[in-house]
Amino acid sequence: MELKSYLQVFARRWPALVILPLLVGMLAIYQDMNRVTQYTADARLSVVRMPDPRPVEDFRYDEYYNYLTSEFKIDDLVETVNGNVFAGAVAERLTAAGMSIDGDVVQETIGTERRHRVLFIMVNTNEPERSLEISQAVVAELEENAPMYLDMPNDAAGASVRVVEFPNDASTDTTQARIILALGVLAALGAGVLLAFLVDYLDDTLYDGDSAAAATKLPLLATVPADPS
């Protein structure tokens, strides 16, 4: 099929190319205007296992075991932060600071991700100040009581939780949501193109001499122009 034939199909089936993407685009705009903006406050922490103190004359293991223990502890810490016990402790800390909040609400706002030996904590709410306060309370609770949750000694010979990035602000990122909406419009446009070709394929109307010649498998000898009157 020549390019001219494609253009003729698009010209005949233009409603499929326009209406479907237009409807999806209007829906995308409506969703974007009514979407509740979420603000995220990020924090990063790491768990470091200290070497066991040993006399100089004793055999000393290399740092591999300390590294391995830190790997296990950061896995435990991920599950701890996601639990309701930890969320309840953070809620008590926030209540003491003047914010009325329940542990279940705190648990819903906290998201965690592990990358190597670093714990990423993301607090999401619809208010930037609220996200920041909860995130800072989470960091304070881990700094003070992480050894208790992980059942490890909190001294120089145990392990420590170190803050890699302290939450100082809460930001929102609408770019990803808008990209998804734009991709939806492009998908609707592609569906419109497929629908146009499908409808044209099922239609057996002869629109021009070329389609008549193709249908009858006879050569086109002449065409009679339409009477403009």
Does residue 157 register a pLDDT over 60?
A: no
Q: CA 192, 198, 202 angle in degrees (round to 5)?
A: 145
Does residue 156 register a pLDDT over 50?
A: no
Same domain? For 105 and 132 the reply is yes
Residue 65 lies in a domain: yes
Same domain? For 45 and 112 the reply is yes
Residue 224 lies in a domain: no
Backbone angles phi, psi at 161, to 5 degrees: -105, 120
Q: Which residue has the higher pLDDT, 201 or 71?
A: 201
pLDDT bin (cut points 50, 70, 90) of residue 1 is: low
What's 108's domain CATH number? 3.30.70
Tokens of 86: 């930890």
Q: What is the mean pLDDT of residues 20-45?
A: 83
What predicted TM-score, i.e. pTM, was given to this entire model? 0.58
| In contact, 125 and 39? CB cutoff 8 Å | yes
Same domain? For 97 and 109 the reply is yes
Same domain? For 17 and 86 the reply is no
Same domain? For 71 and 154 the reply is yes
Q: What is the pLDDT of residues 135-145, one digit of tens each?
A: 999 999 888 88
Same domain? For 48 and 114 the reply is yes
Same domain? For 76 and 143 the reply is yes
Q: How many domains does the chain have?
A: 2
Tokens of 25: 């685009």
CA distances from 164 to 42, 46, 177 (A): 11, 7, 28
Paired with 161 in beta bridges are 47
Which residue range forms the structural domain that includes residue 84? Answer: 39-172
